[in-house]
Amino acid sequence: MSLSSVAVIMSTYNGAEHVKEQIDSLLAQDAPNVSIYVRDDGSKDDTCKILREYQASGLINLEEGGNLGVVRSFLAVLDSVPAKYEFIALCDQDDVWHTDKLSRALEVLSTKDSSIPQLYCSEYNFCDAKMNFVERSHLNRSGVDFPKMLFENMVSGNTTVINHCLANLVLQAGADDVYCHDWWLALVATALGDLTYDDFASLEYRRTGANVSPTGSDALHLLVYRIKTFFGKGELENITLQLHKLEDCFGNQLSPEKRDLLERSLNGDKISKITIPCRLRQKMSEEIALRLLFLFGVL
């Protein structure tokens, strides 16, 4: 593996309270020669002041920009990474990485075919705002593949490491109609390459009031969140737009089986969608709920 093997990318926004602890955990990685690229997305607090101190010490590469939103900001910092890096790791601003997070991911990815898109992801430990352990995540319950990625994001971006091949494809496709950047990366990886899910808790995931994702909430709060989000904010349409983007950008590169499944999921009639002969969700209760959405023409 080359000395310039991995770059870590981070998008920050008003993260002054915890970003130092996160960056220190990156600098403590046991993988050699880790480079860190940070784009600040228009923070109003002291985030940039903290980041400039690391930059002045030569520890990170910093870009300060206007507010683009999380998807476009992450893709912007991804685009800033030099081509010399074999692998790129995504990072949130308020977690704490285990020291062997990157070395374990790189050990796995170094055995994979680098000529196709590769994505590595793992589990993590849920913690409260003060980093007290709450529980271990269990995102991968029944396997992750292309069909299950169409309507459910089972990849957590803060655990994700990708190869340069996948990064190039995603950057060429652009940011328009990308609903979630980690979901989009996983969709492209499972559509055209390979996704490796490691049953390993690689970091401490801090849950704060500012966290957007509902992951880790109890079942009732998660259900309420999904109802409000998907029906109240029209997010089902955003999921559909993301799938249309996959079809438009990469449809002609898909295998016949994957292309047929995507076409059926997007353009099939109700009966065709309801009778898709493979699992689309991890949990059976959510599988049934998804088929009902097909039945009622909501999705």
pLDDT in tens, 58-88: 999 999 999 999 999 999 999 999 999 999 9
pLDDT in tens, 215-250: 545 555 655 555 555 555 568 899 999 999 999 999
- Closest by CA position to 286, among listed 211, 212, 199, 226: 226
Please, which pLDDT band fits residue 141 given cuts at 50, 70 and 90? confident
Q: What is the mean pLDDT of residues 155-177?
A: 97
Please, which pLDDT band fits residue 1 given cuts at 50, 70 and 90? very low
Neighbouring-strand partners of residue 91 = 10
111 Cβ contact list (under 8 Å, min separation 6): none
Q: What is the mean pLDDT of residues 257-286?
A: 95
Q: What is the mean pLDDT of residues 267-273?
A: 95
Q: Which fold has domain 6-206?
A: Spore Coat Polysaccharide Biosynthesis Protein SpsA; Chain A (3.90.550)
List Cβ<8 Å contacts ≥24 apart for 269-272: 270/294, 270/295, 270/297
- Beta-carbon neighbour count of residue 101 at 10 Å? 28
Residue 274 near residue 295, CB atoms below 8 Å: yes
220 Cβ contact list (under 8 Å, min separation 6): none
Quote the Cα angle for 85-89-92, to 5°: 145
So what's the pLDDT on residue 157? Answer: 95
Q: What is the mean pLDDT of residues 146-158?
A: 95
Q: Where are the domains of the chain?
A: 6-206, 219-295
Burial class (CB in 10 A: 0-12, 13-18, 19+), 121: buried
So what's the pLDDT on residue 212? Answer: 46
- Beta-carbon neighbour count of residue 266 at 10 Å? 15
So what's the pLDDT on residue 5? Answer: 84
So what's the pLDDT on residue 160? Answer: 98
pLDDT in tens, 24-61: 999 999 998 899 999 999 999 999 999 999 999 999 99
List Cβ<8 Å contacts ≥24 apart for 154-157: 154/186, 154/282, 155/119, 155/121, 155/182, 155/183, 155/185, 155/186, 155/195, 156/121, 156/124, 156/182, 156/205, 156/215, 157/74, 157/90, 157/92, 157/181, 157/182, 157/185
**Which two tokens mark 129?**
């705002």
Q: What is the mean pLDDT of residues 175-188?
A: 97
pLDDT in tens, 93-121: 999 999 999 999 999 999 999 999 999 99
So what's the pLDDT on residue 3? Answer: 40
Q: What is the mean pLDDT of residues 253-267?
A: 97
pLDDT in tens, 183-214: 999 999 999 999 999 999 999 999 875 544 45
63 against 283, higher pLDDT: 63
For 37, phi and psi rounded to 5 degrees? -120, 120
